[in-house]
Chains A and B, each alone.
Chain A
Amino acid sequence: MRTEILKLRTTRTPVMLLAAAQLVILAGVSGLFVSGDADLADPFTARRAVAHAGLVSIFSLILGILAVAGEYRHKTITDTYLSTPRRGRVVAAKLGVYAVVGVLFGVISSVTAVAATAIWLTVKDGSLDLASTGVWSTLAGCVAWNACFAAVGVGIGALIRNVIAAVAVALAWLALIEGIVGQLVGDLGRWLPFRSGQALEGVPFPGVDLLPQWGAAFVLATYAAIFALVAVSTTVRRDVS
């Protein structure tokens, strides 16, 4: 655990991903208000704006992927397994640390999203009421989404082990495949990972059928657990050469 934290602190990638995520949030929140789609009378507008903190869970996912596949890429995995030959422990430590990192990522992103939303609402002569509009529940969903996706990322990284392939598969799934699968399976589409993440924010999206917030939390946690199990079981046996 300690080592995983040290590994994170001694490279620049996590900070760069975090910075990129904040830029995306600023742009996304601004976009919502600039485009004029924002109906200030709608109580969901503020929640929809801060929900951008959840969308950047894609960056948490990539961070998780890099945690394992990055070690194969730079061949530091050999050293890691020499130090901890019980590989299940290595993966378990990574899952734990990255879930927490996902939480931190989500919290920082939430702060950015809330700040950006508050500024825009003030500009538009409104104000952000943290207490009454369910903003907190949306933010909690965003944080949970980041945490689950970071853990899922560790699983994907352990399975695919090639950084570029793993990131490509993950992004292709989110951008393309989940949409297609969603159409094929109809109602069951609510249970897919990205859709569950959206549901976790507790904000209705027009034309998208979502699970209730708690259901989504459970589904995403289950995805994380499945990926964790697959990650541990595939990692233990494979040759490292």
Chain B
Amino acid sequence: MTDISVRGLTKRFGPVTAVDDLTFDVPAGRITGFLGPNGAGKTTTLRMALGLITPSAGTALIGGRRYAELPHPRRSVGALLEATGFHPGRSGRDHLRILASTADVDSGRVEAVLELVELTSAADRRVGGYSLGMRQRLGLAAALLGDPRVLVLDEPANGLDPAGMAWLRRLLRDLAAEGRTVLVSSHVLSEVAQTVDQVVIINNGVLRYAGTLDGLGSDSLEAAFLELTSR
């Protein structure tokens, strides 16, 4: 049981309702795209699922539990968030070593994930000198560190070069094929159309569509997306 289930999830920041009574499911073994215009509430939803933001109402459960109740959160759920930071003075390898230590993960995994994201040669450089794409790769390495059954990725394609995009697409497919749960937000619709099995589309915090790509019934994902989010 590694599905993500969101039920009546709501978050108000003062007068702003960022997420409004959201309900959807993310099944294991598939890639689920999480789409919506800027400010639609994607990041807020993902942060609530990860226990970083307290919902005003509703729940987001991973394998039937709240994130904070997971016995080994890092080994169960791998997360990449847009505002995750790195101490600029630390090397990429040290950053992962620290995570491995908090996550109760064997330190041998550090080299394995560095290899996987093709960052081994830059691993001893200070993160402050990394490019955007390199940071993104480091973030992905961190998400994969605990070999988790569930992946929650907020705009992972951000800053990746074309080869990186293709690599990410293959990686996500492989992970889903292994039966893992993959929830990934993105603005790159052409990429999403090639990668995901199903989509969840929100606008102004409200659910507009949850289901397969075919079920959208439009010529293109882009046309359907614009239609659904134009109100």
Co-complex (A, B)? yes
Interface residues of chain A, those whose CB is within 8 Å of chain B, are: 2-3, 6-7, 10-13, 70, 74-76, 78-86, 237, 239-241
Query: How many angstroms between the C-alpha atoms of A221 and B6 in the bound complex?
Result: 45
Contact of A83 among B44, B94, B99 (CB under 8 A): B99
B84 CB–A CB distance under 8 Å: yes
Judge whether A10 and B90 touch: CB under 8 Å.
Answer: yes
With contacts A82-B50, A239-B53 known, is A76 near B83, CB below 8 A?
A: no
A180→B192 CA distance, assembly (Å) = 62
**Complex CA distance for A70 and B85, rounded to whole angstroms:** 11
CA distance A12 to B126 in the complex (A): 12
Residues of B within 8 A of A80 (CB): 102
Interface size class of B (residues with CB under 8 A): 20 to 34
Residue in A6, A74, A239, A240 whose beta carbon sits within 8 Å of that of B101 in the complex: A6
Choice from B51, B54, B84 contacting A79 with Cβ under 8 Å: B84
**A122 vs B201: C-alpha distance when bound (angstroms):** 78
B44, B79, B98 — which one has the most chain A CB atoms within 10 A of its CB? B98
Whether B86 pairs with A74 at a CB distance below 8 angstroms is yes
Interface bits B95-120 vs A (CB < 8 Å: 1, else 0)? 00111011100000000000000000
Query: For the complex, what is the distance from the CA of A116 to the CA of B16, rounded to whole Å?
Result: 60
Contact call A81/B98, Cβ cutoff below 8 A? no
- Chain A nearest CB from B185 CB (Å) reads 15
Contact assessment for B54 and A241 in the assembled complex, using a CB-CB cutoff below 8 Å: no
Q: How far is the CA of A79 from the CA of B142 in the complex (A)?
A: 9
CB of A82 within 8 A of CB of B53, answer no
Q: Which residues of B contact A86 (CB under 8 A)?
A: 68
Q: Tell me, in angstroms, the Cα distance from A82 to B46 when the chains sit together.
A: 12
When C-beta atoms are compared, the residue in chain B nearest to A237 turns out to be B54
Q: Does B39 contact A (CB under 8 A)?
A: no
Asked whether B160 is an interface residue with its Cβ less than 8 Å from the other chain, the reply is: no
B191 to chain A minimum Cβ distance, whole angstroms, is 25
